[in-house]
With several copies, the nearest count.
Chain A
Amino acid sequence: MTKQIQQLDRVIIRFAGDSGDGMQLAGDRFTQETATFGNDLSTFPNFPAEIRAPAGTLPGVSSFQLHFADHDILTPGDAPDVLVAMNPAALMANLDDLPRGADIIANTDEFTKRNLTKVGYDANPLEDGSLDAYQLHAIPITSITVKALEGFDISKKDAERAKNMFSLGMLCWLYNRPADGTLRFLESKFASKPEIMKANIAAFQAGWNYGETTEEFSVQYEIKPAALPKGNYRNINGNTALSIGLVAASRLSGLPLFLGAYPITPASDILHELSKHKRFGVKTFQAEDEISGVGAALGASFGGALGVTTTSGPGMCLKAETIGLAAAVELPLVICDIQRAGPSTGMPTKTEQADLLMALYGRNGESPVVVIAPSTPGDCFTTALEATRLAVKYRTPVIILSDGYLANGSEPWRVPDLAELPDLSAEFAFASVDDSAGAFQPFKRDPQTLARPWAIPGTKGLEHRIGGIEKADGSGTISYDPDNHDKMVRLRQAKIDGIAADIAPLEVDDPDGDARVLVLGWGSTFGSIGAAIRLVRLAGGSVAQAHLRHLSPFPANLGDVLKRFDKVLVPEINLGQLALILRGRYLADVISYNRVRGLPFRAAELAGVIEDVIANA
């Protein structure tokens, strides 16, 4: 039967099921197809910390949300238009987010008495009319899949496992997604198990046909590709972008990349990704702990490599002492903290921005470092380049504050060609003998940058010894002289402060130019703040937006920007850490807005907050 086709400009779908149901995979495949198709998109995978949380329970629910459109979008969206609920827990856990009228595709096979009571439904919501406000599609996904796979010589378990492919096929049909990519993916994934491969492909097609042939869906949707700037795009998540960015930085600077890392969620994928890039000479060292990871990276930096270490909150604590040493010996070092919800172990798979003050101040003594934060998954690439530039030019540790939301969330990203990227090798030079008139002075600073010479082993005539004990200005020999210490403390600070002149000023987006309220954010909240701002402006509100990439030092114009507005709203996924520093540095009475739920802000919620601020401005 032919079906009517309806045009949409944007759709938000959410796959939800048990950790074991393969929702992340289904969501990821749908995303890849959507990327190939050319929509703009933004994703939000949300899963439990356990490998396999208990089946059918609320903590066990794993979901994947995808927002795609024919125009540029900023977030995975607040409210799904379609929810795929593979079991009662998935329905219960996600229903609150659904707007009335949304489509719910429920796998009836799993709505058994046992599963219902497990999450506290005393009646079956698919039958008791409690979902009347929604478009319910009650489909026995498991049994149809199993039936469709009867012909194959595979276990019942394997047949059931294929139900995620059935759902995927159904949605691909519903939204007119290409299928070839998925088929190719399945072929390679199950290359070693041909029967399973065929079965999964069959399940996918069964889902597709189900959509096409049954009465279940009366319309099919079409979302035109988005008109993105020309270029070769790939869908990328933050951790991958950061990894590729580091590889690019290595090539652009001519410095071999050495990663010292200890696995930790949500940072591990950077180690995984970089360990594949042997062909670019990338060396990855899985250390015995975080201290060793950063220590090895610093050792590599001392040897003239681009030393990098990656971790998350608890691991950052352990790196503090070595970062302090790096600040004291003034060597380049890139530290990536992929923030997660704390304190302590906290909620490993949930996002948060609460490591800012630790990054700025979490070391003994006055040990200033550079701190920067990416704003979107793709921006993690750019941030890696900027971190490298500042680290090698100023011989300083640079901390990158990404987070779980950026790490796993994805968006289409235009693959740049090396040619258009900055030549980082021009930003620094290793010291060579002729630099040093007379005896080599390892702490003689460049008057411009205040950076000390980076003299690497193997350079004849520059043999020298450095360490964490206070050093005499210039000569770098051990010194306990009181005034020298005061001077060195101030020089180290001045070097970092001076970088303000070498970074982009803060840009303010204020189209009407008459906004009296500024919303100032940093890091991963860029998307939700931007989306909220759009809502406010759509509703006729006038508001300006600015987003900080550099948190230490701040852009030189930050103080002036703050002064220009009656009210400055600072939304953060912490208890107001940036706000504290802004107030302390500029005595600006900024307004903090904080939600620390382990999730990105909802644009609508933020829009409300902004409107209140405008109303009181």
Chain B
Amino acid sequence: MPDTPKSLTLVPHSDERLGMKDFKSDQEVRWCPGCGDYAILAAFQSFLPELEVPRENLVIVSGIGCSSRLPYYVNSYGLHSIHGRAPAIATGLASSRQDLSVWVITGDGDALSIGGNHLIHALRRNVNIKILLFNNRIYGLTKGQYSPTSEQGKVTKSTPFGSLDTPFNPLSLALGAEASFVARTIDSDRKHLTSVLRAAADHRGAAFVEIYQNCPIYNDDAFLPVTEPGQREHNVVRLEHGQPVKYGPEGEHGLRFGKLGSIEAVAVADVDPESLLVHDAHVEDPSYAFALSRLDQTDFAHTPIGVFRSVERATYDDRMSEQISAVV
């Protein structure tokens, strides 16, 4: 990267040229064959050298879950903590050690079920941590109960007659919690995944990244519409700041504001080009990003991925240090 990613301005710069292998630990990876976590781990490990941060200044904190095993596989400092508490632990670490690059690895159960409170508070405080939520819409490690992101009516071990609850939309929840950076990407799209990690690292403050992750064992093909060639071209809406939002094999679809602040999908041909959305990730008011987050509510008919929102806001840890340096 040309100049230092914004989240790393207080982190030492590494002059050794590190490669992907430098970030592989000696531990045997213990996920099921075909688990989406492998792809995410690989993308993450090959991205890390880009940060040009010494390995010893990188810390990965996780909770409990299949996804939360990731720290064991990255050759950096790591803390595999307890279920749901990683954001709280990372908050203490990041605000007492600004010379570290702190990443939180979590799952949909870890972050949104038991850990929901720590997550929303970490986002509101805007602590300088990067939160990667591996959303497989299921509890993997405990062998397949429904999660807060499972679609309603989901039949699982714990819901043989179908689940009753309306799922969370992780992005809507994060935006409702005053998140300053909110993005979504997909395990199988390495290039896009990497670009989102890059953007997250370049955000000073709490970055929230939802990663669609396939669990072949307990929730296989949960994201087929956005991963399967032939379907994904029609369903995936790639957001790029400053770019008009077009999607579909020939970019024949677009988005525009409908009535009362909701965003609707339209055929580019049918509408006044002026009315089409040009993506702006930097608008202060989260209402826009929120409206975007509602697009894939029901099915995956049009699912935006990329950086929904990225606005600058003083971080909790920076403010904390300022108060101290102000008096000493």
Contacts and interface: CB of A to CB of B under 8 A. Distances in A.
- Chains A and B form a bound pair: yes
Interface of A: 49-54, 57, 59, 256, 258, 260, 262-265, 268, 271-272, 275-276, 278-279, 281, 283-292, 295-300, 302-305, 307, 314, 321-322, 325, 329, 344-345, 457-469, 477-478
A268 B157 contact: yes
A284 B95 CA distance: 10
Interface stretch (B76-84, B188-196, B228-236, B255-263): B76-84
8 nearest A-B residue pairs (beta carbon): A467-B80, A296-B92, A299-B92, A295-B88, A465-B78, A299-B93, A299-B89, A292-B88
A264 B159 contact: no
B167 interface: no
Given A285-B95, A298-B92, A300-B92, 13 more contacts: A54-B28, A256-B96, A268-B157, A275-B158, A279-B328, A287-B121, A289-B117, A292-B117, A314-B83, A344-B82, A464-B77, A465-B78, A468-B64
Contacts of A281: 324, 328
B85 A54 contact: no
Interface string B95-127: 111011000000000000110111001000000
8 contacts: A50-B30, A256-B96, A263-B139, A279-B327, A285-B95, A458-B57, A458-B100, A467-B80
A467 to B, nearest CB: 3
B306 interface: no
Contact of B142 (A54, A263, A289, A465): A263
B74 to A, nearest CB: 8
B25 to A, nearest CB: 7
Contacts of B78: 464-467
B71 interface: yes
Interface in B123-150: 139-143, 145-146, 148
Q: Which of A278, A286, A325, A459 has the most CB of B within 10 A?
A: A286
B320 interface: yes
Contact of B95 (A52, A265, A283, A298): A283
Given A51-B217, A299-B92, A460-B56, A57 B320 contact: no
Interface string B31-60: 111000000000000000000001111110
A404 to B, nearest CB: 14
Nearest to A50: B30
B145 A286 contact: yes
Interface string B215-247: 001000000000000000000000000000000
A468 B82 contact: yes
Contacts of B163: 286
A52 B158 CA distance: 21
Interface of B: 25, 27-33, 54-59, 61, 64, 66, 71-72, 75-85, 88-97, 99-100, 113-114, 116-118, 121, 139-143, 145-146, 148, 157-161, 163, 217, 320, 323-324, 326-328
B212 to A, nearest CB: 19
Given A287-B88, A465-B79, A302 B93 contact: yes
Given A258-B96, A283-B324, A295-B92, A458 B56 contact: yes
A278 B92 contact: no
B82 A288 contact: no
A300 B320 CA distance: 14
Contacts of B139: 263
B294 to A, nearest CB: 22
Contacts of A272: 145, 157-158, 160
A288 B114 contact: yes
Contacts, number: 206
A286 B159 contact: yes
Contact of A305 (B96, B140, B323): B96
Contacts of B84: 289
B92 A478 contact: no
B323 A278 contact: yes
Given A263-B145, A322-B82, A325-B82, A271 B158 contact: yes
B81 A467 contact: yes
B99 to A, nearest CB: 6
A157 B328 CA distance: 42
B95 A291 contact: no
A334 to B, nearest CB: 13
A332 to B, nearest CB: 13
Nearest to A475: B26
Given A51-B141, A329-B79, A468-B81, A298 B89 contact: yes
B97 A268 contact: no
A288 B148 contact: yes
B110 to A, nearest CB: 11
B77 A54 contact: no
A230 B121 CA distance: 50
Contacts of A325: 81-82
A458 B64 CA distance: 25
Contact of A462 (B56, B140, B320, B326): B56
Given A292-B121, A457-B100, A52 B33 contact: yes
A177 B54 CA distance: 62
Given A51-B217, A263-B139, A299-B90, A466 B80 contact: yes
A465 B74 CA distance: 9
B239 to A, nearest CB: 30
Contact of B80 (A264, A271, A276, A465): A465
B66 A51 contact: yes
A131 to B, nearest CB: 27
Contacts of B64: 345, 468
